[in-house]
Amino acid sequence: MPGHPNIVVVMADQLAPQFCGAYGHPIAKTPNIDALAARGMRFDAAYCNSPLCAPSRFSFMSGQLISRIAAYDNASEFRASVPTFAHYLQALGYRTCLSGKMHFVGPDQKHGFQDRVTTDIYPSDFAWTPDWEAHDERIDKWYHNMQTVKESGVAVATFQTDYDDEVGFAARRWLIDRGRDRAHGSDAPFCLVASFIHPHDPYVAQPEWWDLYEDVEIDMPAHALSPEEQDPFSRRVMDGIEASYVPLTEEEVRRARRAYLANVSYFDSKLGEIVKSLEDIGALEDTILIVTADHGDMLGERGLWYKMNFFEHSARVPLIMAGPGVAQGAAANACSLLDLLPTFIEIGGGDAQMLGEPIDGRSLMALARGEADPVDEAIGEYCAEMTPYPVFMIRRGPLKYIHCDPDPPQLYDLSADPLETRNLAADPAYAKAAAAFASEVAERWDSETLRRDVIATQKSRRALHASMQAGAGEHWDYNPPSDASQQYVRNHMDWTEAAGRYRYPPLKEQ
């Protein structure tokens, strides 16, 4: 057994916890997620720090808020100089690997991972840079629209199933190799991040997962709003994704939600494959296993789809942890993805002295052990499409406050109103809390300065992208290294030695 537990993170893309059985969905078929929750700790108020793929992941990797590292949108560079948990775990003696998506933008496509065994699924350059000086102009080439919902349904294969099947296979092979290493004397702990694209739209499922559900079972959005009923930020997002002027039928909404649930079950099966691999190499008992996602999906709630807002279906993520030292139970404290870096450092035996840059989170191991934690907050920042100014969120205790300079503030009491149907920012009974949050926002952020920084990076990235399209520089898309001359059986190898090395578990000495 290694001195410190292995760490395995199985990450979904756009998985709202509300659509998992472990979080109470009545028909979601997620046996592997449910089994993990039954033997470990389920975090019931875990949030992403920015409800968009790349910014959320950069915050998760670095333990820092996106405003601190300029990780504003899906075309923001993740600078090579920012330390990640992969760097720190490597320094603590871990063998580290990324299989799957992390949406790294820039020439550094590893960010501390010793091994990266697949390519990414999305561009690694500046192509997806938004323009806050024309924030209300719809982006056509690469932006969401309602056609995605209208085309939901069933297919034998998609680019997403191709990708996730590769991610799962590569992760399992890497884990088997760690078993081979152990069998030949290596006792180094390992950290694997297996990051899948499902259940991210398009909402297209393979028949075996689609057939797990029936149309009559599928629940419809619980709180739908018309464009006229939306707050200003939600209306901008609604316009941007075309939801405000492309009507959806009830059948289209139901079909998309059924396909989403089917793809949640497909992702759950991938978690099952990882668990099986850990069992196969005898490492499950020595491994802290974590399931999470980069953000959620509105799926028609409030009339919104996808993410890009701080309502519960978009901003909350599943977070379940099980393994040595982790208690069984549920943790009510608000927390977020940036808390995972200090959590991993604690698991690996490190401490704050090794940090190369300040971080914005705290370790969740006290909560994981079932102990009290005085901190009950999550902080969010959104600096991407369909807004002219930064949007901020503070979730503390049962209250959630959302601020954007040109918009009226929003305050929700999630203990009394989990669907966020009543904005309490102007309610006299909440006046003190609303004033305190407003003061905290003003003290915590300089919105005007941040806006100028965002626009400045957008301008520089658009200029660079134009140059790169004209042929400047090299593509940054990651190509996993592969040397066929060193694989399987080759002339410079002893056949029996190679066979013995690959066989797992190895034959016992006679």
Q: What is the DSSP string of 152-174?
A: -EE-S--HHHHHHHHHHHHHHHH
Helix (H) or strand (E) holding 45: strand 41-47
Are 416 and 324 contacting, i.e. CB atoms less than 8 angstroms apart?
no
Residue 273 domain-assigned (yes or no)? yes
Query: What SS3 class is residue 338?
Result: helix
CATH code assigned at 64: 3.40.720.10
Q: How far apart are CA 311 and CA 405, in angstroms?
A: 18
Question: Quick check: pTM over 0.85?
Answer: yes
Helix (H) or strand (E) holding 9: strand 6-13
| Phi, psi angle pair for 193, to nearest 5° | -110, 115
The amino acid occupying position 75 is A
Residue 407 domain-assigned (yes or no)? no
**How long is the chain?**
510
Tell me whether strands 95-100 and 190-199 are parallel, antiparallel or unpaired.
Answer: parallel
Beta-carbon contacts of residue 346 (< 8 Å; ≥ 6 apart): 363, 365
Q: How many domains does the chain have?
A: 1
Residues of the domain holding 333: 6-382
pLDDT digit string, tens, across residues 427-477 = 999 999 999 999 999 999 999 999 999 999 999 999 988 888 888 778 899
Tell me whether strands 190-199 and 319-322 are parallel, antiparallel or unpaired.
Answer: unpaired
Helix (H) or strand (E) holding 260: helix 250-280
- Dump strand ranges (E) for 165-283: 190-199, 204-205
Kindly tell me if the per-residue pLDDT of 139 is higher than 90.
no
Residue 226 domain-assigned (yes or no)? yes
Pick from 90, 127, 137: which is nearest to 105 by CA?
A: 127
Looking at the chain, the whole-number percentage of residues with pLDDT higher than 90 is 83
Q: What is the pLDDT of residue 143?
A: 66
Angle between helix 250-280 and helix 31-39 axes, rounded to 10 deg: 60
Strand-pairing partners, residue 396, are 377, 399
Residue 300 domain-assigned (yes or no)? yes
pLDDT digit string, tens, across residues 59-113 = 999 999 999 999 999 999 999 999 999 999 999 999 999 999 999 999 999 999 9
Residue 477 domain-assigned (yes or no)? no
Are 376 and 397 contacting, i.e. CB atoms less than 8 angstroms apart?
yes
CA distances from 372 to 28, 53, 366 (A): 31, 31, 7
Confidence of residue 509 (pLDDT cuts 50, 70, 90): low
pLDDT, average across residues 402-410: 97
Residue 199 domain-assigned (yes or no)? yes
Q: How far apart are CA 84 and CA 94, in angstroms?
A: 13
- What's the distance, Cα to Cα, between the start and end of the chain in Å? 24
Residue 482 domain-assigned (yes or no)? no
Q: What is the pLDDT of residue 99?
A: 98
In the set 4, 87, 103, 198, the catalytic residue is 103
Q: How far apart are CA 124 and CA 128, in angstroms?
A: 9
Pair of tokens at residue 163:
């990708």
In the set 53, 335, 383, 404, the catalytic residue is 53
Beta-carbon contacts of residue 438 (< 8 Å; ≥ 6 apart): 401, 403, 409
pLDDT digit string, tens, across residues 184-220 = 989 899 999 999 999 999 999 999 999 999 999 999 9
Residue 509's CB: how many other CB atoms inside 10 A?
4
Pair of tokens at residue 169:
């296979």
Q: How far apart are CA 211 and CA 265, in angstroms?
A: 11
Are 320 and 290 contacting, i.e. CB atoms less than 8 angstroms apart?
yes
Pair of tokens at residue 308:
């890009």
pLDDT, average across residues 269-279: 98
| Residue 53 annotated to the active site | yes
Q: What is the pLDDT of residue 496?
A: 83
Tell me whether strands 377-382 and 391-396 are parallel, antiparallel or unpaired.
Answer: antiparallel
Kindly tell me if the per-residue pLDDT of 136 is higher than 70.
no
Kindly tell me if the per-residue pLDDT of 286 is higher than 70.
yes
Pick from 28, 98, 83, 457: which is nearest to 258 by CA?
A: 28
Report which DSSP code applies to 405: T
CA angle at residue 93 from 348 to 81, to 5 degrees? 90
| Phi, psi angle pair for 79, to nearest 5° | -65, 140
Q: What burial letters (b/e) apply to 405-429, b meaning 16+ CB within 10 Å?
A: eebebbbbbbeeeeebeebbbeeee
Residue 470 domain-assigned (yes or no)? no
- Per the prediction, the chain carries an average pLDDT of 94
DSSP character string of 366-401: HHHTT---S--EEEEEE-STT-SS-EEEEEETTEEE
pLDDT, average across residues 355-362: 96
Q: What is the pLDDT of residue 169?
A: 98
Q: How far apart are CA 218 and CA 213, in angstroms?
A: 8
Report which DSSP code applies to 299: T
Query: What SS3 class is residue 431?
Result: helix
pLDDT digit string, tens, across residues 21-50 = 999 999 999 999 999 999 999 999 999 999
Confidence of residue 1 (pLDDT cuts 50, 70, 90): very low
Q: What is the pLDDT of residue 499?
A: 86
Q: What is the pLDDT of residue 203?
A: 96
| Residue 103 annotated to the active site | yes
Are 191 and 6 contacting, i.e. CB atoms less than 8 angstroms apart?
yes
| Phi, psi angle pair for 217, to nearest 5° | -80, -25
Q: What is the pLDDT of residue 140?
A: 59
Beta-carbon contacts of residue 436 (< 8 Å; ≥ 6 apart): none
